[in-house]
Chain A
Amino acid sequence: MSGCGLFLRSAAAARLGRALVAFTASRRPLRTSPPSQAFAKELFLGKIEKKEVFPFPEVSQDELNEINQFVGPVEKFFTEEVDSQKIDREGKIPNETLEKLKSLGLFGMQVPEEYGGLGLSNTMYARLGEIISLDCSIAVTLAAHQAIGLKGIILAGSEEQKARYLPKLASGEHVAAFCLTEPASGSDAASIRTRATLSEDKKHYVLNGSKVWITNGGLASVFTVFAKTEVVDSNGSVKDKVTAFIVERDFGGITSGKPEDKLGIRGSNTCEVHFENTRVPVENVLGEVGGGFKVAMNILNSGRFSMGSAVAGMLKKLIEMTAEYACTRKQFNRNLSEFGLIQEKFALMAQKAYVMESMAYLTAGMLDQPGFPDCSIEAAMVKVFSSEAAWQCVSEALQVLGGSGYMRDYPYERILRDSRILLIFEGTNEILRMYIALTGLQHAGRILTARVKQLKQGNVTTIMETVSQRVRDSLGRTVDLGLTGKLGAVHPSMETIVEEQLVLKRVANILINLYGMTAVLSRASRSIRVGLQNHDHEVLLANIFCTEAYYQNLFALSQLDKSDLRREERGTPRNSEHWHPTPTVLTRLSPPAVGMTKWLLQQILRKISMN
Chain B
Amino acid sequence: MRLLRLREVKAFFQGHAASHQLGWNWIPRLSLSPKGLKILAASLSCCRWLSDRQRHELGPSHPAGPGPLSGLGRYLQHCPHRSPLLSVVLYPQVTPQAPRGLHCSTAAHNPDSPLVPRPPEPQRGLVKALAPHEELFRQAPDGVRDKASFVQAVQNFTQYNVHKRGHVDFIYLALRKMREYGVERDLAIYNLLLDIFPKEVFRPRNIFHSIFLHYPRQQECGIAVLEQMENHGVMPNKETEFLLTQIFGRKSYPMLKFVRMKLWFTRFKNINPFPVPRDLPQDPVDLARLALRHMEPDLSARVTVYQMPLSKDSTDATDPTEPHIVGIQSPDQQAALAHHDPARPIFVEGPFSLWLRDKCVYYHILRADLLPPEEREVEEIPEEWNLYYPMQLDLAYGRSSWDDYEFNIDEVEEGPVFAICMAGAHDQATLAKWIQGLQETNPTLARIPVVFRLSASSGELLASSSGLEETPLTPPEGREEEENNQQRQQQSQS
Q: Which residues of B contact A241 (CB under 8 A)?
A: 384
Among residues of B, the one whose C-beta sits closest to the C-beta of A448 is B395
Chain B 373-397 per-residue mask, 1 if CB under 8 angstroms from chain A, else 0: 0000000001011111111111111
Max chain A C-beta neighbours (<10 A), residue from B387, B400, B405? B387
Q: A149 vs B396: C-alpha distance in the bound complex, in angstroms?
A: 36
Q: Is A507 an interface residue (CB 8 A)?
A: no
Q: Is B399 an interface residue (CB 8 A)?
A: yes
Q: Which residues of A contact B264 (CB under 8 A)?
A: none
Max chain A C-beta neighbours (<10 A), residue from B394, B398, B400? B398
Chain A 283-301 per-residue mask, 1 if CB under 8 angstroms from chain B, else 0: 0000000000100110010
> From residue A524, how far is it (CB to closest CB) to chain B in Å?
32
> From residue B79, how far is it (CB to closest CB) to chain A in Å?
65
Q: Is A594 an interface residue (CB 8 A)?
A: no
Chain A 101-124 per-residue mask, 1 if CB under 8 angstroms from chain B, else 0: 000000000000000000000000
Q: A513 vs B97: C-alpha distance in the bound complex, in angstroms?
A: 70
Chain A 454-474 per-residue mask, 1 if CB under 8 angstroms from chain B, else 0: 001100000000000000000
Q: Which residues of A contact B393 (CB under 8 A)?
A: 438, 441-442, 445, 494-495, 497-498
Q: Which residues of B contact A493 (CB under 8 A)?
A: 407
User: Contact: B403 with A300, CB < 8 Å?
Assistant: no
Which of A48-56, A247-255, A313-321, A428-436 contacts the other chain? A428-436
Out of B385, B388, B392, B398, which one reaches A453, CB within 8 Å?
Answer: B398
Q: A495 vs B388: C-alpha distance in the bound complex, in angstroms?
A: 17
> From residue A520, how far is it (CB to closest CB) to chain B in Å?
27
Q: Which residues of A contact B386 (CB under 8 A)?
A: 187-189
Question: Known contacts A190-B382, A456-B402: does B395 contact A494 (CB below 8 Å)?
Answer: yes
Q: Is A128 an interface residue (CB 8 A)?
A: no
Out of B384, B387, B388, B395, which one reaches A442, CB within 8 Å?
Answer: B395
Q: Is A490 an interface residue (CB 8 A)?
A: yes
Among residues of A, the one whose C-beta sits closest to the C-beta of B400 is A456
A-B contact count (CB 8 A): 77
Q: A489 vs B396: C-alpha distance in the bound complex, in angstroms?
A: 13
Q: Is A519 an interface residue (CB 8 A)?
A: no
Q: Is A167 an interface residue (CB 8 A)?
A: no
User: Contact: A446 with B382, CB < 8 Å?
Assistant: no
User: Contact: B396 with A450, CB < 8 Å?
Assistant: yes
Among residues of A, the one whose C-beta sits closest to the C-beta of B386 is A187
Q: Which residues of A contact B398 (CB under 8 A)?
A: 449-450, 452-453, 456-457
Out of B388, B396, B402, which one reaches A449, CB within 8 Å?
Answer: B396
> From residue A214, how far is it (CB to closest CB) to chain B in Å?
16
Q: Is A492 an interface residue (CB 8 A)?
A: yes
Q: Is A152 an interface residue (CB 8 A)?
A: no
> From residue A224, how far is it (CB to closest CB) to chain B in Å?
14
Q: Which residues of B contact A277 (CB under 8 A)?
A: none
Q: Which residues of B contact A297 (CB under 8 A)?
A: 387-388
Question: Per DSSP, are chain B's interface residues mostly helix, strand or loop, or mixed?
Answer: loop
Q: Which residues of B contact A442 (CB under 8 A)?
A: 390, 393-395
Q: Which residues of B contact A434 (CB under 8 A)?
A: 388-389
Q: Is A85 an interface residue (CB 8 A)?
A: no
Q: Which residues of B contact A517 (CB under 8 A)?
A: none
User: Contact: B392 with A187, CB < 8 Å?
Assistant: no
> From residue A233, how far is it (CB to closest CB) to chain B in Å?
11
Q: A445 vs B397: C-alpha distance in the bound complex, in angstroms?
A: 9
Q: A445 vs B396: C-alpha distance in the bound complex, in angstroms?
A: 9
Q: Is A242 an interface residue (CB 8 A)?
A: yes
Q: A434 vs B390: C-alpha distance in the bound complex, in angstroms?
A: 9
Q: Which residues of A contact B396 (CB under 8 A)?
A: 446, 449-450, 453
Total contacting residues, chain A, CB less than 8 A:
36
Among residues of B, the one whose C-beta sits closest to the C-beta of A293 is B384
Out of B382, B388, B400, B405, which one reaches A431, CB within 8 Å?
Answer: B388
Q: A41 vs B395: C-alpha distance in the bound complex, in angstroms?
A: 15
Q: Which residues of B contact A449 (CB under 8 A)?
A: 395-398
Q: Which residues of A contact B395 (CB under 8 A)?
A: 442, 445-446, 449, 490, 494
> From residue A508, how far is it (CB to closest CB) to chain B in Å?
10
Out of A190, A432, A457, which one reaches B385, CB within 8 Å?
Answer: A190
Q: Is A427 an interface residue (CB 8 A)?
A: yes
Q: Is A68 an interface residue (CB 8 A)?
A: no
Q: Is A576 an interface residue (CB 8 A)?
A: no
Chain B 396-418 per-residue mask, 1 if CB under 8 angstroms from chain A, else 0: 11111011010100000000000
> From residue A467, how far is it (CB to closest CB) to chain B in Å?
19
Q: Which residues of A contact B388 (CB under 8 A)?
A: 187, 297, 300, 427, 431-432, 434-435
Q: Which residues of A contact B394 (CB under 8 A)?
A: 442
Out of B384, B390, B392, B407, which one reaches A189, CB within 8 Å?
Answer: B384
Q: Which residues of B contact A188 (CB under 8 A)?
A: 385-387
Q: A497 vs B390: C-alpha distance in the bound complex, in angstroms?
A: 11
> From residue B139, how far is it (CB to closest CB) to chain A in Å?
68
User: Contact: A498 with B392, CB < 8 Å?
Assistant: yes
Q: Is A395 an interface residue (CB 8 A)?
A: no
User: Contact: B389 with A431, CB < 8 Å?
Assistant: yes
Q: A492 vs B396: C-alpha distance in the bound complex, in angstroms?
A: 10
Q: Which residues of B contact A439 (CB under 8 A)?
A: 389-390
Among residues of A, the one whose C-beta sits closest to the C-beta of B382 is A190
> From residue A553, how far is it (CB to closest CB) to chain B in Å?
22
Among residues of A, the one whose C-beta sits closest to the C-beta of B398 is A453
Q: Which residues of B contact A489 (CB under 8 A)?
A: 402-403
User: Contact: A296 with B389, CB < 8 Å?
Assistant: no
Q: Which residues of A contact B387 (CB under 8 A)?
A: 180, 187-189, 293, 296-297, 300
Name the interface residues of A224-253: CB closer than 8 Å to any CB of B. 241-242
Q: A189 vs B389: C-alpha distance in the bound complex, in angstroms?
A: 11
> From residue A517, how far is it (CB to closest CB) to chain B in Å?
24
Out of B382, B390, B400, B403, which one reaches A498, CB within 8 Å?
Answer: B390
> From residue B257, how far is it (CB to closest CB) to chain A in Å?
41
User: Contact: A438 with B389, CB < 8 Å?
Assistant: yes
Q: A446 vs B382: C-alpha distance in the bound complex, in angstroms?
A: 21
> From residue A424, how far is it (CB to closest CB) to chain B in Å?
13
Q: Which residues of A contact B389 (CB under 8 A)?
A: 431, 434-435, 438-439
Q: Which residues of B contact A435 (CB under 8 A)?
A: 388-389
User: Contact: A438 with B397, CB < 8 Å?
Assistant: no
> From residue B405, how far is it (CB to closest CB) to chain A in Å?
7
Q: A452 vs B398: C-alpha distance in the bound complex, in angstroms?
A: 8
Max chain A C-beta neighbours (<10 A), residue from B390, B397, B400? B397
Q: Which residues of A contact B390 (CB under 8 A)?
A: 438-439, 442, 498
Question: Known contacts A489-B403, A498-B390, A498-B392: does B397 contact A189 (CB below 8 Å)?
Answer: no
Chain B 291-333 per-residue mask, 1 if CB under 8 angstroms from chain A, else 0: 0000000000000000000000000000000000000000000
> From residue B415, how far is it (CB to closest CB) to chain A in Å?
25
Q: A275 vs B429: C-alpha distance in the bound complex, in angstroms?
A: 57
Q: Which residues of B contact A300 (CB under 8 A)?
A: 387-388
> From residue A371, how far is it (CB to closest CB) to chain B in Å?
24
Name the interface residues of A392-441: CB closer than 8 Å to any CB of B. 427, 431-432, 434-435, 438-439, 441
> From residue A450, how far is it (CB to closest CB) to chain B in Å?
7
> From residue A172, how far is it (CB to closest CB) to chain B in Å?
28
Among residues of B, the one whose C-beta sits closest to the C-beta of A489 is B403
Q: A441 vs B390: C-alpha distance in the bound complex, in angstroms?
A: 10
Question: Known contacts A498-B391, A498-B393: does B405 contact A492 (CB below 8 Å)?
Answer: yes
Q: A497 vs B388: C-alpha distance in the bound complex, in angstroms?
A: 16
Q: Which residues of B contact A446 (CB under 8 A)?
A: 395-396
Q: Which residues of A contact B382 (CB under 8 A)?
A: 190
> From residue B392, how far is it (CB to closest CB) to chain A in Å?
6
* B-binding residues in A (CB < 8 A): 180, 187-190, 241-242, 293, 296-297, 300, 427, 431-432, 434-435, 438-439, 441-442, 445-446, 449-450, 452-453, 456-457, 489-490, 492-495, 497-498
A-B pairs with the 8 shortest C-beta distances? A453-B398, A435-B389, A293-B384, A445-B395, A434-B389, A431-B388, A187-B387, A438-B389
Known: A241-B384, A300-B388, A492-B397. 7 other contacts (CB 8 A): A188-B386, A188-B387, A427-B388, A442-B394, A456-B400, A495-B392, A498-B392
A-B contact pairs, 10 of them (CB 8 A): A187-B386, A189-B386, A242-B384, A297-B387, A439-B390, A442-B395, A449-B396, A492-B397, A498-B390, A498-B393
